Amino acid sequence: MSAQNLPPSEPARSGAEPRVVAGVYRDGVVHPAEPLGLPPGSPVDILIVAGAPAPAATSAPAPQLALTLGGLLPAVEAGRPALLLLAVGLAGLAQWRFLSVGAFDLLALLAALLAAPLITMASYGLPPAPLRLGPPRGGVPFLAPSWTRARNLALSASAVAAGAVLVGLAGAPSAAGYGMLALIWLAAVVLGIAALGGRPLLLRPRLTRAGLLGAVPLALIGLAALLLRAWQLGDIPATLSGDEGSQGIEAIKVLRGEITNPFTTGWLGVPTMSFYFNAPSIALLGNTAFALRIPWAIVGTATVLVSYFLVARLQGPLLGLLSAGFLAGFHYHIHFSRLGSNQVADTFFVALALLLLFRGYDRRDPLSWALCGATVGLAQYFYAGARFTAIVVVACVALLALRDGPRLWREHGRGLLALVWVSLVSAGPMIQYAFRFPNDFNARVNSVGIFQSGWLKLAQEISGTGPLPILVEQFWKAMLPYNAYADRTVWYGSPLPLFGLVEGALFILGLGYALLRLADRRVFPLVAWWGGALIIGGFLTENPPSLQRLISTAAPAAVFLCLGLVLALRGLWALLGRLDGPALRGGLGAATLALALLSARYYFVDYAPQRIYGGENAVIATSMADYALTRLGPDTRIVFFGPPRMYYGYGSIPYLLGQRAGVDVIEPLQAPPGPGLAARGDDVAFFFLPERLGELPLVQLVFPNGELEDVPSPTGGAPLYTVYRPAP
């Protein structure tokens, strides 16, 4: 073979002439046949020509074979302005049509499909390449340790411990028994990682001024992400939804010892380990909105940082910083990071699993493969959407197997074994639960799946059509939440698609560019992540787009948007006769910052004050709890005239009020209430929803001379509810 130290995507560095040297590829390392004469640690870009004869010493540099379109470069140069303007114009037209129609539009689709090849042609030959070609620089190959007796014992112990956990869970142990089984399970996972993972080369870290300066933007992004997710967390969003409150109640049950098994499911089929994660903050801070939400704000912040490292590994630090910066300010991700609900963990688990997977692949590092397996397994204990983590990892491994063939096993056999084993050990208790109690494990899927719930059959009966038109409409609703369709639930409820005109046009450019490179192992994970999540969480579930099921797509969508920005701005720079440089990178950073700030402004200034999140019942419940906490005594009995629309057990109320006494009046009163409801002289407060206010005179006959108060809606209009407090 021969190797040419010519960068695949940028011109040779000044002072370094391109050279062609012979070499041999052995044991995953390229060995030059002659000294390169470079200082130790010098970065070298290599273009591999497999099977090429060794060149003569006086050989001229071989041409770079980056793409087969090299002969068209002069024509591309001549037509680049028209190609760029046409591509950007078509992407803008597509997004404008989507926004105008608010639904799928054939003209918009055709414009988007045409924009992709045009922006690709317009970008050809321009440095720097928007997508990385080949593995990242600076990777240190992992030297797998030999198989020792200690590792054999660790693997055996991992297997025994994992089996003991499964046997113990099948026997319905006591509360203390579940705690012991959790410790044994954790030991089984750690032993599996130790046995199959190994240790990377210990290198002396090099702290350079350039490296420290490069870390500053990421630190600023992380700080901004945390501030945007934790600032006034208890008050924005002002409504604590019923689902948030219900998950908080489950966490309180963990603290009270009412939930003792972390390997089962609880409220609405959500795995109970998620509630264990939420319990410590409530134990420390009390049953408040802030305590319920702060763990997930931290997870959302960690997701921004992990997504940087993933994108930087796949496509380089520039795109990593841009996409992480936009994700930090993206209103969609900010919102779900500020909720006391576990959906935001979906994005974290997928990003972390893919980061570890490709770190293991790049470095031939079994430890990273093993940690990827642990991430896949742990994801099974959170929101149902996090199960997608396993699917996208399997898809990426399948692509690597197709591309590399037997070489994947030769170079990564230990890593593949580590991935599979640690995944099975860590997810083992949940897998066993799925086999033992399939209806409980699949409760959410069974209730929202278009096939499992009977939704598709019912839709055919209502529409009088066959399944194909319904599925086609369902598909486009699922695929276009960023461009055309608004959320159809109160989980977010914004009346607009997730992207506006500019963001949507850039997203179309970036996504189209990536789709044309789907076979690239460093592009496929992002496309598979985005598309797979939309299919599984959107197309295959009823009422799309339901954004609580699609939050995982926020990170890859940010990448595609920033990729489109790089394509457009880099093309503009070329039209101005300038190539890559600090000015271009500064322009990209400034544009990303502007988009992120506008997105964050939309959330805090435009969206949050509307009190859309949670719906009217959640607004009422949050207000009732606040009224009781600030206006009523701790022993006041609450009598709620809310059914059938709403009950005192609505999640937000019992979570915020704790053990305070409350009772529902289910049937409308036909006569004055008897002593079973409340007795004269009791400290009692009657809460009436508007539709049941007509029963107030009957209550006043028994409890006269009280104070009547209408509680106004925070958004204006009719009162939320009426409170009647009898005289003592």
CA separation for the pair 434, 24 (Å, rounded): 50
Check whether 641 has a pLDDT greater than 60. Answer: yes
- The pLDDT value recorded for residue 74 is 64
Torsion of CA 568, 574, 579, 580, to 10 degrees: 0
Give tens-digit pLDDT for 368-378.
999 999 999 99
Check whether 571 has a pLDDT greater than 90. Answer: no
Percent of the chain with pLDDT over 70: 83
Q: Return the higher-pLDDT residue of 518 and 78.
A: 518
- The pLDDT value recorded for residue 60 is 36
- The pLDDT value recorded for residue 59 is 37
Give tens-digit pLDDT for 675-702.
878 777 788 999 999 999 999 999 999 9
Give tens-digit pLDDT for 606-624.
999 999 999 999 999 999 9
Check whether 163 has a pLDDT greater than 50. Answer: yes
CA separation for the pair 290, 235 (Å, rounded): 8
Check whether 108 has a pLDDT greater than 80. Answer: yes
Q: What is the DSSP-derived secondary structure letter of residue 549?
A: G
Give the sheet arrangement for strand 29-32, strand by strand. 29-32, 20-26, 2-4, 47-49
Percent of the chain with pLDDT over 90: 73
Classify residue 278 as exposed, middle or buried by CB count within 10 Å of its CB (0-12, 13-18, 19+): buried
- The pLDDT value recorded for residue 38 is 65
Assign 18 a pLDDT band (cuts: 50, 70, 90).
Answer: low
- The pLDDT value recorded for residue 582 is 82
Place of tokens 């009791």: 682
Relative orientation angle of helices 366-379 and 406-436, to the nearest 10 degrees: 20
Place of tokens 């900010």: 334
- The pLDDT value recorded for residue 147 is 62
Q: Return the higher-pLDDT residue of 24 and 110.
A: 110
Assign 41 a pLDDT band (cuts: 50, 70, 90).
Answer: low
- The pLDDT value recorded for residue 490 is 94
- Intra-chain end-to-end CA distance of the chain, in Å: 95
194: tokens are 């130790």
CA separation for the pair 326, 589 (Å, rounded): 10
- CB neighbour burial string for 591-630, b if at least 16 within 10 angstroms, e if fewer: bbbebbeebbebbeeebbeebbbbbbbbbbbbbbbebbee
CA separation for the pair 559, 315 (Å, rounded): 10
Lowest mean pLDDT among 69-78, 124-133, 262-271, 710-719: 69-78
CA separation for the pair 236, 28 (Å, rounded): 52
**Contacts with 151 (C-beta within 8 Å, 6 or more apart), sequence order:** 145, 194, 195, 196
Check whether 520 has a pLDDT greater than 60. Answer: yes
Distance of CA 511 to the CA centre of its chain: 18
Check whether 26 has a pLDDT greater than 70. Answer: no
Check whether 3 has a pLDDT greater than 50. Answer: no
Give tens-digit pLDDT for 389-414.
999 999 999 999 999 999 999 989 99
Assign 37 a pLDDT band (cuts: 50, 70, 90).
Answer: low
- The alpha-carbon radius of gyration of the chain (Å, integer) is 29
Give tens-digit pLDDT for 522-566.
999 999 999 999 999 999 999 999 999 999 999 999 999 999 999
Lowest mean pLDDT among 13-27, 232-246, 618-632: 13-27
Beta bridge partners of 724: 686, 708
Assign 212 a pLDDT band (cuts: 50, 70, 90).
Answer: low
Give tens-digit pLDDT for 485-510.
999 999 999 999 999 999 999 999 99
Assign 128 a pLDDT band (cuts: 50, 70, 90).
Answer: low
Assign 14 a pLDDT band (cuts: 50, 70, 90).
Answer: very low
16: tokens are 């370094």
Cβ atoms 555, 346 nearer than 8 A? no
- The pLDDT value recorded for residue 177 is 81
- The pLDDT value recorded for residue 63 is 32
- The pLDDT value recorded for residue 717 is 86
CA separation for the pair 8, 127 (Å, rounded): 10
What's the rounded mean pLDDT across residues 317-329? Answer: 96
Beta-carbon count within 10 A of 154 CB: 19
Phi, then psi, of 36 in degrees rounded to 5: -85, -20
CA separation for the pair 592, 562 (Å, rounded): 7
Assign 171 a pLDDT band (cuts: 50, 70, 90).
Answer: confident
Give tens-digit pLDDT for 213-261.
668 999 999 999 999 999 999 999 999 999 999 999 999 999 999 999 9
| Of the candidates 585, 619, 613, 572, the residue with the CA atom closest to the CA atom of residue 720 | 619
